[in-house]
Amino acid sequence: MKRSRRLALFAGTTLALGAITAAGIAAAQPGEHRAASVAGAAATTWSLVQGSPGKDTGTSLSGLAPAPDGTLWAVGSQNSSVRKPILQRLNGGTWSNVALPASVGTYDFVAAASTSASNLWVGGLLNTSGDGHAVLHWNGTAWRTFKTPLSFQPRGIATTGADNAWAVSVLSAKHWNGTAWADTPIGIRSRAVAASSPNGVWAVGASTDGQPATARWNGTAWTTVPYPAVEGNLETGEVVPTLTDVYAASDDDVWAVGVAYLRNEAGKLFTRSLLGHWDGSKWTSTVGADGTSFTKVASDGAGGIWAYDGKGTMHHRTAAGVWTTATLTQPAGTTIAVGGMAVQPGTRTMWSVGWTTGAAGEADLAHWRGE
């Protein structure tokens, strides 16, 4: 079964792009740095744990939700003859499917956030005819469904507790205060959201004038926060420079990744990766070499980060700023896509989830593990 394009849009961008490191950086403009060369230690490999190898199941995983209590959730969907959401939970080193009631079966699970085994929020896209998408909540005992209009697609979810959650769509956002959801104007075209505290919530994406953009929730409202502009002959339209993911280590330590689309003198389209850091007072941005991209970012569990480049390579930056790479295992004759990554709480073990696609277009959910 071939994957639907609609789901792929929310499960992560996969581009055939090269690698980037932070070596050879030269200043490009205030707040921006240019990565001029590729360097780093020899790559290691993340092993592949396949859900159902060789079967045309039409399954994929589009997000991970780690929780401080050690819980790690994965969400996704099955898009074969039977369409249904997928929820998995890591038990030790094994992923297990979590039974779901029929009442949530009309949604593809595309994003999730959690603070414990009894506080899981999920973004759901309607997978059949109906009047809206949904944000769903698991309290450890039962599911609760909050419908959203078809115009609001909850592609990003964040939470700091059962009485605080955020959902973002392209041009709007919603906040849960423990009693009800409220619309909260956000001011950017958001792609992802992350929270370090109730007043330290960040959304990233692009501005309406085609530049990378960020917005911060201050406890009552969203405020746009300046991000360094990308210079050059920028592409316009749907592929403007965009931040695609964000990780908030603390209120004063936030990382964002993305991609800028430009055209050279011959009119050929190329990309450059974006790596942004918030230090509590301003954003700085490192722009990669031609042909690079970043699509996902996550904690490494030790003060550093992992970033995914969309081409099968993970890039690790330690807390000291040292870069190395790791390659995702790729079965012969397949392409791979990553929908999310996270550190296993309380460990240094990294997990990435997504899917593999064979020559006939069949999709099969996958997990990759890095030690």
- The CA distances from residue 265 to 18, 232, 234, in Å, are 21, 11, 12
pLDDT one-digit tens code per residue, 274-324:
999 999 999 999 999 999 999 999 999 999 999 999 999 999 999 999 999
Summarised one tens digit per residue, pLDDT across range 211-266 is 999 999 999 999 999 999 999 888 777 789 999 999 999 999 999 999 999 988 88
For residue 1, pLDDT beyond 90? no
Query: Per-residue pLDDT tens for 71-104?
Result: 999 999 998 777 899 999 998 889 999 999 999 9
Question: Which domains, and CATH codes, for the chain?
Answer: 5-370 (2.130.10.10)
56 pLDDT more than 70: no
Question: Tokens 């209590």 sit at which residue?
Answer: 69
Give the tens place of pLDDT for each residue, 338-367: 999 999 999 999 999 999 998 888 789 999
